[in-house]
């Protein structure tokens, strides 16, 4: 196979995956719009709940909510493509309402991921290589227990220990108006730690399993029998097989942390999207709900796309021997 | 007159969506380093000038606004009170002059003359004028505004005229004998003529502090306005932070992140202040919040006065006080409005009498009747009280069920209309606010000719004695056959630094006036 | 394939212990309401009473017996989680098998089934829970949320396992005989993917437990008392009455750990058999 063939194939693959992701985003938009339309309440009732049927009907007509679903969907999607996320029930642009809080949530997820990546790799590989021994038992048991306790209990326990009892870190993530959480890094520590423990349990388990499988693979066995030093076996034999799995795990975990941090954000009063999400869903503020669903779903789909590509890039077999 | 669901929120004086206090592991057990119990009447010493006071209140998330006519959460209200001024404040349950010095009704009570305070300036130095007040009244009723106010029902806002720089004539749509009370109860705030935006850089008030930074759902930074008509405030700066979870507010105070945590859970009072230099404060008996159930008389079962009386006889008030308030409160006499002027303190709380309650139920043919009580923890304790009340009603042989929903969902009008009773709590609002707003909401209203007459009399009365008599009559109707089961009055607690002083309760201790807050020397 | 790294002695013991604990929890959930010394709803003492006397585990924030509440709270928890997991798995397994089978005949058909599920899977489960509970309050909402959030993952797992199975001789033969799709799914494919499907069911079950707990924490009413609600209720007074928090947390954790371990074991056995 020539290099040009390979380049062509890579481009075709990329284009294909991109098309699939684009299609999924479109599909997601349909699911979200139709799904939220089934919810009781809409921006008119959210804002004018008790005003009586006449006023609500009038507001519906004014907001264009009485038009057919397909028509409203079309308008919403074209708005999305222009970067217009719509207007909340309160009358504020959704983009403005979310931008800063989404940034804060991304920051939290990003920082968590920055620690999660080396942490889970280290623990997962260490345990996977020593399957069944003390290190493995300790890591596996620890992660299993961690995964078994609800995250808000874990977060509460951290508050009790580090904020209330020891007084080392703030219990509440107060961020001065007009400032980024990065200007008060101490408020980020406990939320990041809570999310880290949550993500670590899942990521480490999967990386450990992949490592254990790789360590049993014939070619690794072969390297070991040939007397290659453990370090080389790890670098040449085990890690190449583990990394694609790990990358996939990290990307999806990272994307999941953005929307999955709701409970942790609530515990620390962190100014992320969690609070907006809960309030919007419960008060029937559909434009905000739809925008959030698209954003969170979109990020996850992009993460899956990236995971897919990088898996192919990292896996020698798939890269060269694709049919 | 129509009402949005936010009006109910407003009526209850609580935030849209301050959700049930989760909270974790209050104070860590030992109370050795804190005081033994809540202290009353603390924090009244004279403050020194200077310092930054940081105060935590329940917020309203991204929906918070500097617009005083869009203020619903305690954080919004506290901020509004120091940035802006009202025409009349509520002090100890009665109106007290603020930007207006008097509101004199005409002889026929169909109009009144409003006289404004002299030498009041906006934060840009311009003087307060009658035109500002006229603009504020018109703004309140502008298109798309959903602020809860009974003013449009009483005042002929289109015909308000400015007679001079500082006087206005306000015609009314029906007799208003006590305009000061009406305006105070409506929390009528004055904004500057021509105001259309409330962004931090543009907003102007007349209050003791002006905004330097604001972020919805997070924080507002306010600096002292030296030319305040009431004299400059002691603190250089106020930082009002929004912390929705009650236990998180406690943690923030214990960790030294804030100097004052408002409205803390009773469990925190039990465990003590939790850190040196802090104390749990009790707003006192005059500022308790009433907790109860509003019976929905549009439901067949609750339309029967015998059933309503049976429920009032069947409730175990002391048990509820001991459990829900952990004893920090007293049994209630089924009337909301404790602490307000004209409140009928003399009407005693009913003694529990399950035999009579059962007999009344039997007489009404309501043995084993099924009833649903709707609750949402928009204030901590409502769900708990509902669960206990349900158990107590089961003892009467009723098939009572609790319908616990989320705090935002709670106010869904259809859900409210379908429930037989609603868990409800009310601060010390003025009586006309409580009675008129309840009357406007069919599921909360109590239709009774005698009550309506008494309310009309109270509104139209221009003399003190008449008003007192009318309010007495209205409350006697409610005590005799009304639809309220106000089982208890709960203390409002806060956690504060011992040297913090000047946090002043006006309307409700859940959103005090903090313009005079400062530290003792 | 045998385990070369020497865990041979540990595994069966762990599996046996997990199974025993799970059975114990199951028995507790089923018999608990009968064994409860008091009513789970009516107060027996003052709030936050320490363990001992009439209430062996103390009383909760309303003065109710924690032990009785714990004993009565297992069944709703298990029933909801199980119903949700089974529903989610059922949808997922059907979709996954169908996709594998259809995909073997026509490549595009697989996408038609799996892509919409992928779109749903992109949404955070908690978000789906919030939406579902708004549309469908109570237990039904939780069940719907877990089913919707879990089905796409189940479908992927099952499809991956079934893709290999489809190419096996006897399945190919059945396809060639022109057997109906239902027959193929039920008789030929399902037994081949039963292992991963069972393990996946376990994971859905654990997921359901946490969503039920989260719903309690967020103050979203789900009706009856369950362990999740007990945790949420016990949080504010945890300093006054730690057992009321510790007991349900431990039970939920034990449930999660055991189901996880058993799911792992099922998967391992299936791999051994399949290999």
Residue B33 has pLDDT above 80, yes or no: no
Token pair of B451 as six digits: 């009550």
Match 């109009």 to its residue by tokens: B111
Do B153 and B97 share a domain, yes or no? yes
Whether residues B200 and B181 share a domain: the answer is: yes
Nearest CA in chain C to A300: C122
Domain stops at, among B186, B205, B224:
B205
What is the number of CB-based contacts under 8 A between chain A and chain B?
Answer: 126
Place B5 in a pLDDT band, splitting at 50, 70 and 90. very low
Q: Could C43 and B388 be called an inter-chain contact, meaning their C-beta atoms sit closer than 8 Å?
A: yes
pLDDT in tens, C149-174: 888 888 877 777 777 666 666 667 77
Same domain, B326 and B428: yes
C119–A31 C-beta distance less than 8 A: yes
Q: Are residues B486 and B450 in the same domain?
A: yes
In a domain, B513, yes or no: yes
Same domain, A24 and A154: no
Residues A150 and A237 in one domain: yes
Residue B21 pLDDT exceeds 60:
no
Count of domains forming chain B:
3
Domain end (from B162, B180, B205): B205
Q: Are residues B298 and B408 in the same domain?
A: yes
Which residues have C-beta within 8 Å of that of residue C2, sequence separation ≥ 6?
C8
Q: Is residue B70 part of a domain?
A: no
Which residue would you say has higher pLDDT here, C270 or B452? B452
Chain A residues within an 8 Å CB radius of B9: none
Q: What is the DSSP letter of B504?
A: B
Residue C253 has what pLDDT? 87
Mean pLDDT over A78-94 rounds to: 79
- Residue B80 inside a domain? The answer is no
The C-alpha atoms of residue B347 and residue B369 are separated, in whole angstroms, by 30
Count of domains in chain A?
A: 2
For residue B405, the Cα-to-chain-centroid distance in whole angstroms is 22
H/E stretch holding C209: helix C190-217
Are B341 and B450 members of one domain?
Answer: yes
3-state secondary structure B207-243: CCEEEEEEECCCEEEEEECCCCCCCCCCCCEEEEEEC
Does some domain include residue A286?
Answer: yes
What is the residue range of A194's domain?
Answer: 98-322
pLDDT for res B1: 32
pLDDT given at position A322: 38
- Given a cut of 80, whether residue A316 has pLDDT beyond it is no
pLDDT-derived band at B320, boundaries 50, 70, 90? very high
Q: Across A232-299, where does the E strand assignment appear?
A: none
- Candidate from B247, B387, B406 with C-beta closest to C236: B247
Same domain, A209 and A250: yes
Residue A102 maps to a domain: yes
Among chain A residues, CA nearest to C6: A132
Task: Tell me which residue in B62, B218, B441 faces A276 most closely, judged by beta carbons.
Answer: B62
Chains touching C by CB (3 or more pairs below 8 Å): A, B
Co-location of A138 and A69 in the same domain? no
Would you say residue C10 has pLDDT above 70?
A: no
pLDDT given at position B331:
94
Contact B245 A266 (CB under 8 A): yes
Boundary-marking domain end, from A39, A56, A81:
A81
pLDDT higher than threshold 70 for residue C98: yes
Same domain, B259 and B214: yes
> Is B96 part of any domain?
yes
Mark whether A229 and A154 lie in a shared domain.
yes
CB atoms C254 and A263 under 8 Å: no
Same domain, A196 and A108: yes
Read off the pLDDT band of C36 (50, 70, 90). confident
Q: Does residue A102 share a domain with residue A68?
A: no
Q: Which residues, 6 or more positions from C116, have their beta carbon under 8 angstroms from its beta carbon?
A: A27, A31
Question: Average pLDDT of B474-497?
Answer: 93
> CA-CA distance, A299 to B160, in Å (whole number)?
55
Domain identity same for A310 and A216: yes
Q: Which of A111-115, B300-304, C185-189 has the lowest mean pLDDT?
A: C185-189
Which residues in B lie closer than 8 A to residue A48 (C-beta atoms)?
4, 146
Can you give the pLDDT at residue C201?
84
Among residues A81, A110, A132, which one ends one of the domains? A81
Domain boundary among B205, B230, B252: B205
The tokens describing C127, both together, are: 């978000």
What torsion do the CA atoms of B359, B363, B366, B368 make, to the nearest 10 degrees?
Answer: 40
Residue B71 contacts A where some CB pair is shorter than 8 Å: no
Which chain B residue shows the shortest CA-CA distance from A41? B412
Same domain, B227 and B257: yes
On whether both B95 and B182 belong to a single domain, the answer is: yes
Q: What is the CATH number of the domain that holds B501?
A: 3.40.190.10
Indicate which of A130, A217, A281, A283 best probes the interface with C, i.e. most C CBs within 10 Å of its own CB. A281
* Residue B82 pLDDT greater than 90, yes or no: yes
Residue in C118, C249, C256 nearest the CB of A147: C256
Q: Is B18 on the interface with A (CB under 8 A)?
A: no
Alpha-carbon separation of residue B46 from A102, B42, B513, B517, C210 (angstroms): 44, 12, 15, 9, 52
State the pLDDT at residue B247: 83
Q: Containing domain of residue B1, as a range?
A: 1-62+207-284+492-521
For residue C274, give Cα distances in angstroms to B278, C12, C202, C232.
66, 19, 20, 43
CA distance B264 to A237: 58
Same domain for A209 and A121, yes or no, is: yes
What mean pLDDT is predicted for residues A239-243? 83
B383 with B507, same domain: the answer is: no
Residue B10 has pLDDT above 50, yes or no: no
> Which residues in A lie closer than 8 A to residue B22 (C-beta atoms)?
152, 266-267
Burial status of residue A239 (CB atoms within 10 A of its CB: 0-12, 13-18, 19 or more): middle
Return all residues near A7 (Cβ < 8 A) that are at least 6 apart.
Answer: none
Residues B320 and B247 in one domain: no
Phi, psi of B229 (to 5 degrees): -65, -25
The distance of A57 to chain C (nearest Cα, Å) reads: 21
CA distance C226 to chain A (A): 15
pLDDT single digits (tens) B231-290: 999 999 999 999 888 888 988 898 889 999 998 888 888 887 778 889 999 988 888 999
**Average pLDDT estimate for A139-167:** 83
Domains with residue ranges and CATH for chain C: 57-274 (1.10.3720.10)
Same domain, A77 and A105: no
Question: Are residue A69 and residue A200 in the same domain, yes or no?
Answer: no
Q: What integer is the mean pLDDT of A3-22?
A: 79
Which of A81-85, B288-292, B380-384 bottoms out in mean pLDDT, i.e. has the lowest?
A81-85
pLDDT at B220 over 90: yes
* B421 pLDDT more than 80: yes
pLDDT computed for residue A40 by the predictor: 59
Does residue A92 fall inside a structural domain?
Answer: no
**How confident is the prediction for chain C on average, in pLDDT?**
79
> What's the rounded mean pLDDT across residues A43-69?
57
Residues B232 and B335 in one domain: no
- Whether residues B63 and A279 touch (CB distance < 8 A) is answered with yes
Neighbouring C-beta atoms of residue A217, cutoff 10 Å: 13
Asked, for residue A276, whether it belongs to a domain, the answer is yes
pLDDT reported for residue C93? 86
User: Is B508 in contact with B427 (CB distance < 8 Å)?
Assistant: yes
Query: Domain check: are A225 and A307 in the same one?
Result: yes
Q: Which residues of B touch A275 (CB under 8 A)?
A: 61-62, 217, 244
- Cβ contacts of residue C134 below 8 Å, gap of 6+? A39, A40, A281, A282, A284, B409, C141
% of chain B at pLDDT higher than 70: 91
Q: What is the DSSP string of C170-189?
A: HHHHHHHHT--HHHIIIIII
Chains linked to A by 3 or more Cβ pairs within 8 Å: B, C
């Amino acid at each position: 196979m020539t290099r040009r063939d390979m380049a062509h194939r890579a481009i075709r693959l990329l284009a294909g995956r991109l098309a699939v992701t684009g299609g999924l985003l479109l599909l997601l938009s349909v699911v979200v719009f139709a799904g939220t339309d089934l919810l009781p309440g809409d921006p008119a009732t959210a804002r004018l709940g008790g005003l009586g049927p006449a006023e609500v009907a009038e507001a519906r007509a004014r907001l264009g909510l009485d038009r057919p679903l397909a028509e409203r969907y079309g308008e919403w999607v074209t708005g999305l493509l222009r970067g217009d996320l719509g207007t909340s029930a309160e009358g504020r642009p959704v983009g403005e309402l979310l931008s800063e809080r989404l940034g804060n949530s991304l920051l939290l997820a990003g920082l968590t991921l920055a620690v999660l990546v080396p942490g889970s790799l280290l623990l997962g590989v260490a345990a996977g290589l020593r399957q069944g021994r003390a290190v493995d038992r300790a890591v596996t048991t620890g992660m299993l227990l961690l995964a078994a306790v609800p995250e808000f209990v874990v977060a509460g326990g951290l508050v009790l220990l580090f904020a209330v009892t020891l007084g080392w870190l703030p219990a509440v993530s107060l961020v001065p108006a007009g400032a980024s959480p990065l200007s008060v890094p101490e408020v980020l520590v406990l939320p990041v730690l809570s999310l880290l423990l949550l993500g670590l349990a899942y990521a480490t388990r999967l990386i450990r399993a992949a490592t254990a499988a790789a360590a049993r693979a014939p070619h690794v066995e072969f390297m070991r029998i040939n007397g290659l030093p453990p370090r080389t076996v790890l670098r040449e034999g085990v890690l190449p097989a583990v990394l694609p799995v790990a990358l996939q795990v990290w990307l999806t975990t990272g994307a999941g942390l953005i929307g999955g941090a709701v409970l942790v954000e609530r515990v620390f009063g962190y100014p992320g999207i969690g609070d907006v999400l809960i309030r919007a869903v419960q008060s029937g503020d559909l434009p905000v709900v739809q925008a959030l669903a698209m954003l969170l779903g979109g990020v996850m789909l992009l993460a899956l796309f990236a995971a897919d590509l990088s898996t192919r890039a990292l896996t020698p077999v798939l890269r060269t021997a694709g049919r | 007159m129509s009402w949005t669901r936010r009006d109910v929120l407003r009526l209850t004086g609580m935030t849209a969506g301050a959700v049930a206090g989760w909270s974790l592991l209050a104070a860590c057990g030992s109370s050795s380093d804190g005081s033994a119990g809540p202290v009353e009447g603390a924090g009244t010493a004279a403050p020194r000038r200077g310092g930054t006071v940081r105060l935590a209140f329940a917020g309203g998330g991204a929906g918070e606004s500097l617009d005083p006519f869009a203020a619903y959460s305690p954080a919004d209200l506290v901020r509004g009170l120091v940035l802006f001024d009202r025409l009349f404040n509520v002090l100890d349950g009665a109106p007290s002059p603020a930007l207006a010095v008097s509101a004199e009704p005409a002889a026929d009570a169909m109009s009144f003359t409003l006289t404004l305070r002299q030498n009041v300036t906006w934060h840009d130095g311009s003087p307060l004028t009658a035109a500002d007040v006229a603009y504020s009244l018109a703004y309140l009723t502008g298109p798309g505004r959903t602020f809860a106010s009974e003013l449009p029902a009483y005042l002929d806002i289109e015909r308000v005229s400015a007679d001079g720089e500082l006087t206005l004539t306000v015609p009314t749509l029906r007799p208003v004998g006590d305009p000061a009370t009406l305006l105070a109860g409506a929390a009528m705030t004055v904004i500057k003529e021509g105001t259309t935006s409330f962004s931090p850089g543009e907003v102007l008030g007349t209050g003791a502090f002006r905004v330097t930074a604001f972020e919805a759902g997070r924080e507002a930074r306010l600096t002292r306005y030296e030319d305040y008509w009431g004299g400059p405030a002691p603190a250089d700066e106020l930082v009002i932070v929004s912390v929705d979870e009650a236990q998180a507010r406690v943690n923030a105070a214990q960790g030294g992140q804030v100097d004052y945590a408002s409205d803390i859970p009773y469990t925190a009072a039990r465990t003590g202040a939790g850190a040196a230099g802090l104390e749990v404060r009790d707003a006192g008996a005059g500022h308790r919040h009433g907790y109860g159930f509003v019976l929905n008389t549009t439901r067949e079962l609750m339309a029967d006065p015998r059933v309503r009386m049976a429920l009032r006889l069947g409730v175990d008030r002391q048990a509820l006080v001991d459990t829900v308030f952990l004893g920090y409160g007293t049994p209630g006499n089924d009337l909301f409005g404790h602490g307000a002027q004209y409140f009928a303190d003399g009407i005693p709380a009913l003694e529990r009498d399950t035999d009579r309650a059962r007999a009344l139920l039997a007489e009404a043919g309501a043995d084993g009747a099924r009833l649903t009580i709707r609750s949402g923890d928009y204030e901590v304790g409502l769900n708990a009280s509902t669960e206990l009340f349900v158990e107590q009603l089961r003892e009467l042989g009723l098939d009572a069920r609790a319908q616990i929903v989320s705090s935002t969902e709670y106010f869904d009008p259809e859900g409210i209309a379908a429930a037989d009773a609603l868990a409800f709590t009310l601060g010390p609002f003025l009586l006309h606010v409580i009675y008129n707003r309840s009357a406007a909401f069919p599921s909360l209203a109590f239709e009774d000719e005698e009550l309506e007459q008494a309310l009309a009399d109270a509104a139209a009365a221009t003399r003190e004695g008449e008003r007192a008599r009318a309010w007495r009559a209205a409350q006697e109707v409610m005590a005799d056959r009304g639809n309220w089961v106000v089982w208890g009055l709960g203390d409002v607690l806060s956690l504060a630094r011992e040297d913090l002083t000047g946090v002043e309760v006006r309307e409700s201790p859940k959103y005090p006036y903090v313009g005079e807050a400062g530290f003792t020397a | 394939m045998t385990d070369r790294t020497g865990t041979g002695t540990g595994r069966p013991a762990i599996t046996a212990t997990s199974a025993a604990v799970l059975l114990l929890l199951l028995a507790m959930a089923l018999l608990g309401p009968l064994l409860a010394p008091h009513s789970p709803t009516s107060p027996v003492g003052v709030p936050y009473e320490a363990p001992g006397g009439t209430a062996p585990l103390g009383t909760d924030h309303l003065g109710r017996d924690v032990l009785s509440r714990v004993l009565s709270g297992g069944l709703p928890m298990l029933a909801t989680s199980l119903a949700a997991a089974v529903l989610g798995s059922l949808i997922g397994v059907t979709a996954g098998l169908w996709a594998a089978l259809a995909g073997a005949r026509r490549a595009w058909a697989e996408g038609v089934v799996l892509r919409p599920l992928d779109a749903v899977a992109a949404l955070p489960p908690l978000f789906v829970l919030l939406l579902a509970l708004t549309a469908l309050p109570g237990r039904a909402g939780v069940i719907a949320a877990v089913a919707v959030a879990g089905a796409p993952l189940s479908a992927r797992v099952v499809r991956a396992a079934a893709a290999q199975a489809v190419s096996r001789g006897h399945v190919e033969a059945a396809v060639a005989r022109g057997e109906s799709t239902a027959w193929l799914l039920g008789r030929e494919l399902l037994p081949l993917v039963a292992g991963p499907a069972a393990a996946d069911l376990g994971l859905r079950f654990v997921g359901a437990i946490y969503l039920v707990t989260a719903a309690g924490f967020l103050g979203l009413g789900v009706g009856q008392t369950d362990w999740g609600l007990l945790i949420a209720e016990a949080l504010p007074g945890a300093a006054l009455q730690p057992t009321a928090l510790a007991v349900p947390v431990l039970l939920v954790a034990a449930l999660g750990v055991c189901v996880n371990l058993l799911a792992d074991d099922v998967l391992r056995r299936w791999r051994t058999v399949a290999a």
